[in-house]
Chain A
Amino acid sequence: MAWSMGLLGASIPTIAGDAFEHLQTQIVSGTSTTEIVFTNIDTQYSAAYTHLQLRMSIKDNAGGNSGAGTLKGYFNSHTASTDYYWHYIRGLTSVSSPTNLDSNAYIAFNNMMVYSESTNVWGAVVADILDPFDTSKKTNVRMLGSAFSNSEKQVMIADTLYNRTDSVNSLRLVPYSTLTAGSRFSLYGMRAA
């Protein structure tokens, strides 16, 4: 099978056969999960895959707010304020707003964590992690996201630069409070030709 759906966000050309493969999925159960961690990514996948994709359906148990918060992502436990640079464009309820490039201490899946007041509503994110194992360049994370909580409804495209050339060996994802049961985190790999 060959297809050209532009799965990696914008402009990836035709992808052949089994080039896009499921690696791991973590689905939250219970009410006390404070983080999701993918470990040994480089060790397990760098020999076979060039790019990664993270697909998430996410919700936060935090109450008292009908909006949505930020899921924070960290590569290799790096948390310094200049470890990441990001910018985005988003469509909100009534306006759109582009931002300038700004430093950050984490990968911001901004306003995608729908809070508990929004019954049955979940944020959806597709994030392409480009060249995570190439130590000659800095990794980019390109995110498409959509969340329609009771009070915040938006679509977003964002790009985050991981400001290091380290190979990505771990990814930690941290909600505002705890993750709602049923939150889903799937990691995929894309092979090179």
Chain B
Amino acid sequence: MASAITALSTITVSNSPSSVTFSNIPSSYRDLYIQVSGTSSSVQQISLIFNSDGTNGNYNWTQVGADPGSGLFGVGLVSSDRVRLGYSGTTASSHFAHIFEYSQSKYKEIIARTSTSTTDVRLVGGQWRSTATISTVKVQVDAGNFVNGAKISLYGVST
């Protein structure tokens, strides 16, 4: 039986970009999965933007997390122009995001987990309010840059 996971693309960052983009994503999988492993130039949120849609209000997200200082916390619902996955770190961080039913005529649901050595761990729920098939995913540092060597990988999940 074939693997249900296919590695579609991995970008190893050079030249300290503020974002990377996966384009021409095939529509033949059921779900997508993104893994971000690496650091950024400052502690910033990592965000996803689909099909270049930067319209404020087209995304919702909420986060729940914990850190050593404040314990359990909730960020609350945010209507936005992106889905924020939680903070990157300057020493280490990782982000994992499921993108459900990306080629179906449904709003796209995102479930993500984040950890960073400098602040906290978070669970993230997100939504892109579009029924369009996702063909591009931009992964960005909201205010800063990826540090060279960061790896951002895109996978397809088959049924």
| Residues of A participating in the B interface, judged by any CB pair closer than 8 Å | 1, 3-7, 10, 17-22, 25, 55, 57, 89-96, 98, 120-124, 126, 144-148, 153-157, 182, 184, 186, 188
Contacts and interface: CB of A to CB of B under 8 A. Distances in A.
A57 B159 contact: no
A146 B125 contact: yes
B125 A155 contact: yes
B107 A57 contact: no
Contact of B124 (A3, A95, A155, A182): A155
Interface of B: 1-7, 30-31, 33, 35, 60, 62-64, 72-77, 96, 98, 100-101, 104-107, 109-111, 113, 123-127, 129, 131, 153, 155, 157-159
A90 B131 contact: no
A132 B63 CA distance: 30
The 8 closest A-B pairs by CB, nearest first: A155-B125, A91-B64, A96-B74, A146-B125, A124-B109, A124-B100, A22-B4, A148-B127
A91 B107 contact: no
A22, A156, A157, A182, most chain B CB atoms within 10 A: A22
Contacts of A121: 106-107, 127
